[in-house]
Structure 1
Amino acid sequence: MVRIERTTYQNEDFPNLVAKLDAYLSDTDGDEHDFYHQYNGIENLNQVVVAYLNEVPVGCGAIKEFNPTAVEVKRMYVSPETRGQGIATRILTELEKWAEESGYKSCILETGKRQPEAIALYQKSNYQVIPNYGQYVGMENSVCFKKDLT
């Protein structure tokens, strides 16, 4: 059974999941990993969700304010052995719901072109490709998305 918990960066399971995400991204991003990593600190992420499968932490995600009307989706991860079960979709849906409850109108995010599973998730979830924003402008490996919330 999957349980999705709303929490903060202080949840003890969140840093452990993020460490697994960072190890994965270090492999996929290669030489660009240090550039991306500098923008992915977890301190002060106060809207975090952790997914538990049979009470074992298997996935996470977070949102943080990007501007007064939009949040940025950060630190999305599901452990490889539990992928394909809809857990990432449940995490993303919960983050979108939380953003909407908090008064935001849209979600934006950046992912890497070398992460086809992530791109497929966002496309399936009705995110649209947008021009790279902020620190991702000019980054060849980055693809940015936006979804308007209802």
Structure 2
Amino acid sequence: MAVSIAIETPLQDDVRALVAALNDHLLPLSPEEFQFKMTVEQMAGSDTTLFVARDEAGQAVGMGALKVHSPQLGEVKRMFTLPEVRGQRVGRHLLERIIELARERKLDVVMLETGTGDGMAEAHRLYTRYGFVPRGPFLDYPDSEWSAFFELPLMAEAKA
């Protein structure tokens, strides 16, 4: 399937529908207090860049965002693809665009928090195959059995 990926505003009905689908997917996987969701309004902030994947018909089929916390640290947020496009590398293409933007912004590292358990196995595979390595909690995330943390150092690449 051919997919186009572009920076878009989250304040669109089809993107809101993706966010709702992601939230529905996450709901049974962990207690709500360990789900660190961003609303579409938060995603529209100047510190966050949202990438939307669209199929040939223009339907939004996936999304992922880069939230910049400091000149050194970026965070992958709200990664999601619709179940019908999983396995077609849409998530990989979204992640590539996010990391490309992080490199353009000369961030030292990109981190992420994601859930644990069987419902998150595909996400863990995507991140580790891309080069992310497990790490401990960062920012104000609590250490819990419900969260897994990963990082991708970028600074070493720039110096190499």
Q: TM-score when scaled to structure 1? A: 0.89
Pair 1:80-2:83 in alignment = yes
2:77 and 2:67 map into 1 onto residues whose CA distance is 7
Deviations for 1:105-126, whole angstroms, at most 9, x for unmatched residues? 2210011112111101000000
2:60 and 2:10 map into 1 onto residues whose CA distance is 14
Deviations for 1:18-49, whole angstroms, at most 9, x for unmatched residues? 110000000212xx124424x52332264000
Q: Which structure has the highest strand share of the two?
A: 1
Pair 1:52-2:54 in alignment = yes
Contact 2:136 2:143 in 1 (8 A): no
- The amino acid of 2:140's aligned partner reads Q
Pair 1:68-2:71 in alignment = yes
1:138 and 1:73 map into 2 onto residues whose CA distance is 18
Structure 1 stretch displaced more, 85-94 or 43-52 = 43-52
The correspondence for 1:100, drawn from 96, 100, 103, is 103
Contact 1:70 1:105 in 2 (8 A): yes
1:131 and 1:67 map into 2 onto residues whose CA distance is 19
Pairs aligned (count)? 147
Unaligned runs of 5+ in 1: none
Q: Summarize the Cα distance change of 1:119–1:69 in structure 2 as closer, same or farther, 3 Å threshold.
A: same
2:127 and 2:17 map into 1 onto residues whose CA distance is 24
Q: CA RMSD in A?
A: 1.6
Structure 1 stretch displaced more, 61-70 or 89-98 = 61-70
Contact 1:9 1:46 in 2 (8 A): no
User: Any idea what SS the aligned residue of 1:129 has?
Assistant: strand
TM alignment of 1:1-150, pairs within 5 A: 1-29=2-30, 32-37=31-36, 39-42=37-40, 43=42, 44=45, 46-54=48-56, 55-114=58-117, 115-149=120-154, 150=157
- The amino acid of 2:39's aligned partner reads G
Q: TM-score when scaled to structure 2? A: 0.84
User: Any idea what SS the aligned residue of 2:69 has?
Assistant: strand
Unaligned runs of 5+ in 2: none
1:68 and 1:57 map into 2 onto residues whose CA distance is 30
